[in-house]
């Protein structure tokens, strides 16, 4: 038998849609356009406002704010924007997730992500699945984070940048250029090598790992510029993961990709 447990000190708008077996803690405020899926836990002092859709099995920690207006000087309150969150996410204490800024747009978070305490997800960010965003990470507007990425604590990310699949970011780093999939990144806008451990844990075959390393060498260690390296790659037989890396580089036109650190030689880079 399903039930909803709403603390008597919580404020839940009667127009909000609350699923089965949801828990809502004291002093939380749930707005009229909120949708909260089954078996989601909302702890105390949480604010969910405006048009927010949250899936099933999520955990939302104390003091989280979801759906607040974007921090964008071009935003106007009459715009209809939203936040969409999938299933089985953990969103820890005091995270902030802002709704979209352009009219009819959304900030989107997929499934099985872990946002640690104090993380900020700016307007129109797109977070994939199985992403870990550690404490006090700051994502500006329109940042895209692909599946399986790990963003180390206290790191910052410029608006409109793209973080590829299974990227590993060291804590206390800062980035304003795109990070291709499968790389290790640190400091300020630097790539240090291939995330070999992440590839092994992700079940990539030895052949795929070797091809990703070869593609990485072609882009970062061949002495060719990006255009020349991509032309050479077009004549080389690569499998899907290495092609994913190369296609990402080819499409990183708005901000470009982070360069290889001068301290990362051919051996340390792979």
Domain boundary among the residues 142, 177, 207 is at 142
- Mean per-residue pLDDT for 68-88? 97
Structural domain boundaries enclosing 256: 161-270
pLDDT at 100: 98
Angstrom distance (rounded) from CA 190 to CA 180:
11
Q: Is 241 found in the same domain as 126?
A: no
Closest-CA residue to 48 (of 63, 60, 31)? 31
In a domain? residue 199 = yes
Span 217-230, pLDDT tens digits: 999 999 999 999 99
Give yes or no: residues 55 and 102 share one domain: yes
pLDDT in tens, 130-147: 999 999 999 999 999 999
> Which pLDDT band holds residue 1 (cuts at 50, 70, 90)?
low
> How far apart, in whole angstroms, are the C-alpha atoms of residue 180 and residue 194?
10
Is 33 among the domain residues?
yes
Question: Distances in Å between the alpha carbon of 162 and those of 76, 176, 244?
Answer: 26, 9, 14
In a domain, 208, yes or no: yes
Residue 55 falls inside a structural domain:
yes
Do residues 110 and 166 both lie within one domain?
A: no
Q: Are residues 118 and 181 in the same domain?
A: no
| pLDDT for the residue numbered 92 | 99
**pLDDT interval class at 2 (50, 70, 90):** confident
* Mean pLDDT of the chain, nearest integer: 96
Do 126 and 189 have their domain in common?
no
Q: 21-51: per-residue pLDDT in tens?
A: 999 999 999 999 999 999 999 999 999 998 9
Q: Which of 95, 111, 142 is the last residue of a domain?
A: 142
pLDDT score for 48? 98
* CA atoms of 92 and 42, how far apart (whole Å): 10
Same domain, 194 and 84: no
d(CA 126, CA 132): 13
pLDDT above 90 as % of the chain = 94
Residue at 22 is within a domain: yes
Same domain? For 166 and 255 the reply is: yes
CATH code for the domain in which residue 212 is found:
1.20.1180.10
pLDDT tens readout for residues 231-244: 999 999 999 999 99
Q: In the prediction, which pLDDT does 11 show?
A: 98
The answer to the question of residue 150 being in a domain is no
Domain match, 9 and 121 both: yes
Does some domain include residue 153? no
Which CATH number is 58's domain given?
A: 2.160.10.10
For residue 115, give the H/E element and its range. Answer: strand 114-115
pLDDT value at position 266?
A: 56
DSSP 62: T
| Distance from the first to the final alpha carbon of the chain | 54
User: Residue 149 falls within a domain, yes or no?
Assistant: no
pLDDT tens for each residue of 175-189: 999 999 999 999 999
Confidence band of 255 (pLDDT split at 50, 70, 90): confident
Domain closes at, from 142, 172, 188 = 142
Q: What's the pLDDT at 268? A: 57
Q: Judge if 17 and 87 occupy the same domain.
A: yes
For 93-110, write each residue's pLDDT tens digit: 999 999 999 999 999 999
Domain count for the chain, please give it.
Answer: 2
What is the structure's pLDDT at 267?
59
Same-domain check for residues 47 and 134: yes
- Rounded to an integer, the average pLDDT of 81-85 is 98
């Amino acid at each position: 038998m399903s039930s909803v447990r709403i603390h008597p000190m919580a404020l839940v708008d009667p127009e909000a849609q609350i699923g089965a077996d949801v828990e809502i803690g004291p002093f939380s405020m749930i707005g009229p356009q909120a949708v909260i899926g089954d078996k989601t836990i909302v702890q105390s002092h949480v604010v969910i406002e405006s048009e927010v859709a949250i899936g099933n099995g999520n955990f939302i920690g104390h003091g989280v704010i979801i759906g607040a207006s974007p921090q964008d000087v071009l935003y106007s309150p009459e715009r209809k924007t939203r936040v969409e969150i999938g299933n089985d996410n953990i969103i820890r204490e005091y995270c902030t997730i802002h709704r979209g800024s352009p009219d009819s747009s959304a900030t989107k978070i997929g499934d099985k992500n872990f946002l640690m305490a104090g993380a900020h997800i700016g307007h129109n960010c797109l977070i994939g699945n199985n992403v870990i965003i550690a404490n006090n990470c700051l994502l500006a507007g329109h940042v895209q984070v692909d599946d399986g990425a790990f963003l180390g604590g206290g790191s910052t990310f410029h608006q409109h940048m793209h973080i590829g699949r299974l990227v590993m970011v060291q804590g206390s780093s800062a980035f304003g250029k795109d990070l291709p999939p499968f790389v290790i990144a640190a400091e300020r806008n630097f790539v240090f090598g291939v995330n070999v451990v992440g590839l092994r844990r992700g079940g990539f075959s030895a052949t795929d790992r070797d091809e990703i390393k070869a593609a990485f060498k072609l882009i970062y260690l061949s002495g060719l510029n990006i255009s020349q390296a991509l032309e050479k790659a077009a004549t080389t037989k690569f499998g899907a993961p290495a092609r994913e890396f190369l296609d990402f580089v080819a499409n990183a036109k708005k901000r470009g990709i982070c360069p290889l650190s001068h301290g990362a030689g051919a051996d340390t880079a792979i």
